[in-house]
Chain A
């Protein structure tokens, strides 16, 4: 069962009243998100990530293609979708002088909560996101991290089945990002919420997502699990060596795709570490080079991203 089903989605922004400058944002994006999954959309700035998320969240009307969210068409049945989903952004904005509790309560009322049920929900969310001591603090006095936690709390006010997170840890300190990620992971684990998130951070995508889609210039270039993507891009394995004296021939050795020097290590990307490592070691010993350190690792998702973004 799919929570999100998008086929050949097209969106072009037009600006100006006379010249009507056209900026294509999405050029035929197809995406399927199974219920209960966490899917990440990665891409450089201007790739179309927020546009895609906004179309799925019914904030933006697509120019073409077919989009169904939770079984409903985004154009014709937007109201039905809105009841069952919500969205939080890494650049949250709420009314400046409303307090934390009031903001959650305001949005709770928009989703039909009232009386004790509303009060309970506000209490629950304030506690869940550790906002208790800030409950009576106006929004414009909150730190960036607290604002982001409030945005997540607001996004859960209607107990959504589907959550869109647009760069949820953007600009946060590492420790705050960790806590936000823990909250996001908990949402899927404990509540079974389907999550579609956009992010710049590869580690975040690797940590949270079952599947990742790479978006660039309005097109999905690749999608799959992090491991499958690494395999598909054929970046090879990374063999890092600390050798004395240096062995410049490593760059030219069979199976070595490229080499780079990083902090005294020579990082060689090879087509197959299992096959190439014994060959390299044998040649190093034969040449009288001493091996001071050795590491073998899979390519980082970041490298996949860089490769795809080229």
Chain B
């Protein structure tokens, strides 16, 4: 495929996801309601527990990161879910495109939605709880958001692979999978509080490293060595594995006939 065709195919999915999102009230609800509820309730809990400003920043950063990952990951999952719900899966696999176009197009919209929600929550965090999540500056912020978006892409593509492999039965993964990150990646607590074997697993999650790096700007000593580098390296590895898993799932669905079943 030429570069122009590559860009056009990615753009096609981005436009499609944007149009779908703009026409569904539920998507706006999903974009704003739960993330705002999350930040407000966690912030209030911090106030009730009389946490220090630094500790409040610690948990609010985790909450915001989780919201950004969830919103962006859901959008990537929609790359397949929209077609599964409307039973139109076969049309896109009939076209001369690859799965990278589906996931990248949806990811673009996911990053847009993730950035919007980050902005909203940043304003809310500053106004309601006095936490400035932008204080580390543009470069660390860009790295942090890139880490969140990469994590979202990995989860989203894995969900796409599971749905393509198991059909509608795997739909629940779209909403449940990000919660695994919640437990393991040190969203509300440092991973040092986890039992040692679980903490070891947590170090294999890219978001753990990006959170660790960003929280360092708020005075928390990094628990991990070279968190940014390790985070990107892990993200690159998982992204490649998720892509291969999705490609394999599509190939299996073509062989098993699931691709057709999801279109009728």
Q: Does A95 contact B20, Cβ atoms closer than 8 Å?
A: yes
Question: Which residue of chain A is the closest to B12 with respect to CB atoms?
Answer: A109
Given the contacts A93-B86, A97-B24, A106-B12, A61 and B95 also touching, CB distance less than 8 Å: no
Task: Give every chain B residue within 8 A of A30 (Cβ-Cβ).
Answer: none
Residue among A50, A94, A107, A112 having the largest count of chain B Cβ atoms under 10 Å: A112
Q: Does B94 contact A109, Cβ atoms closer than 8 Å?
A: no
Stretch of B2-10, B125-133, B209-217, B230-238 that contacts chain A: B2-10
Q: Does A94 contact B95, Cβ atoms closer than 8 Å?
A: no
Q: Does A82 contact B95, Cβ atoms closer than 8 Å?
A: yes
Minimal beta-carbon separation of B79 from chain A (angstroms): 12
Q: Does A110 contact B83, Cβ atoms closer than 8 Å?
A: no
Task: Give A223-245 interface residues, CB cut-off 8 Å to B.
Answer: none
Q: Does A94 contact B15, Cβ atoms closer than 8 Å?
A: no
Minimal beta-carbon separation of B166 from chain A (angstroms): 10
Question: Which residue of chain B is the closest to A12 with respect to CB atoms?
Answer: B257
Q: Does A59 contact B260, Cβ atoms closer than 8 Å?
A: yes
Q: Decide if B188 is an interface residue (CB 8 Å cutoff).
A: no
Q: Decide if B115 is an interface residue (CB 8 Å cutoff).
A: no
A60 to B255, CA, bound (A): 6
Q: Decide if A37 is an interface residue (CB 8 Å cutoff).
A: no
Instruction: Return the CB mask of B214-241 against A: 1 if under 8 Å, else 0.
Output: 0000000000000000000000000000
Q: Does B94 contact A87, Cβ atoms closer than 8 Å?
A: yes
Interface of B is mostly: helix
Task: Give every chain B residue within 8 A of A58 (Cβ-Cβ).
Answer: 94, 254
Question: Which residue of chain A is the closest to B95 with respect to CB atoms?
Answer: A110
Question: Which residue of chain A is the closest to B257 with respect to CB atoms?
Answer: A13
Q: Does A154 contact B91, Cβ atoms closer than 8 Å?
A: yes
Q: Decide if A198 is an interface residue (CB 8 Å cutoff).
A: no
Task: Give every chain A residue within 8 A of B259 (Cβ-Cβ).
Answer: 59-60
Task: Give B1-56 interface residues, CB cut-off 8 Å to A.
Answer: 2, 4-5, 8-9, 11-12, 15-16, 19-20, 23-24
Given the contacts A109-B8, A110-B9, A94 and B94 also touching, CB distance less than 8 Å: no
A281 to B54, CA, bound (A): 108
Task: Give every chain B residue within 8 A of A60 (Cβ-Cβ).
Answer: 254-255, 257, 259-260
Q: Decide if B173 is an interface residue (CB 8 Å cutoff).
A: no
A91 to B263, CA, bound (A): 9
A58 to B88, CA, bound (A): 16
A87 to B260, CA, bound (A): 13
A50 to B12, CA, bound (A): 28
Task: Give every chain A residue within 8 A of B24 (Cβ-Cβ).
Answer: 97
Minimal beta-carbon separation of A83 from chain B (angstroms): 5
Q: Does A110 contact B97, Cβ atoms closer than 8 Å?
A: yes
Question: Which residue of chain B is the closest to A154 with respect to CB atoms?
Answer: B91
User: Out of A87, A94, A109, A154, which one reaches B9, CB within 8 Å?
Assistant: A109
Residue among B5, B12, B85, B259 having the largest count of chain A Cβ atoms under 10 Å: B12
Minimal beta-carbon separation of B2 from chain A (angstroms): 8
Show 21 A/B contacts (Cβ-Cβ < 8 Å), sorted by A. A50-B260, A57-B94, A60-B255, A61-B255, A79-B96, A86-B94, A87-B90, A93-B86, A95-B20, A95-B82, A95-B83, A95-B86, A102-B19, A106-B15, A109-B11, A109-B15, A111-B95, A112-B4, A112-B9, A114-B8, A154-B91
